[in-house]
A and B are shown apart, each in its own frame.
Chain A
Amino acid sequence: AQSVTQLDSQVPVFEEAPVELRCNYSSSVSVYLFWYVQYPNQGLQLLLKYLSGSTLVKGINGFEAEFNKSQTSFHLRKPSVHISDTAEYFCAVSDGAAGNKLTFGGGTRVLVKP
């Protein structure tokens, strides 16, 4: 069984400041890792994913995440946020064994203040 823990439920941050969203997972097998973003009143869309290879993954809108196998973490970062980054962010894990079934974390709500 897999599980995902997002350590912060809410992260307030000022515009142009950096932000880090923390994600830890547990799994008995190798995993694929993902970050999705949900803007207000919208569905989720993929920000980035780690499948294999380089542990530093770059995604859309200037976000990046680093896979750390020893710490079972996949933290999301952005060096300078914009008001438009206000959204909820979800970390998710898949073992790839049965299609694209994902296990999601509880979400982190980011509020960017001017």
Chain B
Amino acid sequence: DADVTQTPRNRITKTGKRIMLECSQTKGHDRMYWYRQDPGLGLRLIYYSFDVKDINKGEISDGYSVSRQAQAKFSLSLESAIPNQTALYFCATSEVTGGIGELFFGEGSRLTVL
């Protein structure tokens, strides 16, 4: 089983619908991240969480919200999806100490908003 699991892997939805992407991890890491990947733009940080009580906005948080339900679970919500939120979304984790910069990624959730 993957250490960082994302569900769903693929989702097609319509404009205005609420969507939740879920992430769970078995690595025991405190830090979790949500990134968005668009062709030619690389990955951009949406939200990150350093522990259950700590949630921070990334560079492109508008239109998104997150919930850290437990150390192992971090979900991303689109309250009212719009077409320009069509993208590949990645959840990632990292350790608090050591391993500077090493993020461990899930396999991605491809979201299409029609």
What is the interface of chain A, defined by CB distance below 8 A to chain B? 4, 6, 9, 32, 34, 36, 41-46, 49, 51, 90, 92, 94, 96, 99-102, 104-107
A96–B35 alpha-carbon span in the complex (Å)? 18
- A29 CB to nearest B CB, Å: 14
A109 (CB) vs chain B CBs: closest residue: B39
Asked if B4 is an interface residue, CB under 8 A from chain A, the answer is yes
Cβ A92 vs Cβ B101 within 8 A: yes
Cβ B42 vs Cβ A106 within 8 A: yes
A105–B43 alpha-carbon span in the complex (Å)? 8
What is the interface of chain B, defined by CB distance below 8 A to chain A? 4, 31, 33, 35, 40-45, 48, 50, 58, 90, 92, 94, 100-103, 105-108
User: With A43-B90, A43-B108, A44-B90 known to touch, is A102 a contact of B41 (CB < 8 Å)?
Assistant: no
- Chain A residues contacting B101 (CB-CB under 8 Å) are 32, 34, 46, 49, 51, 92, 94, 96, 100, 102
B31 (CB) vs chain A CBs: closest residue: A99
Cβ B102 vs Cβ A44 within 8 A: no
B102 (CB) vs chain A CBs: closest residue: A46
Cβ A100 vs Cβ B102 within 8 A: yes
- A7 CB to nearest B CB, Å: 13
Q: A42-B107, A100-B100, A101-B48 are known; give 19 further A-B pairs, CB within 8 A.
A: A4-B42, A6-B42, A9-B40, A32-B100, A32-B101, A36-B103, A41-B107, A43-B106, A44-B103, A46-B101, A46-B103, A90-B42, A96-B101, A100-B102, A101-B33, A102-B45, A102-B101, A104-B43, A104-B44
Cβ A102 vs Cβ B103 within 8 A: yes
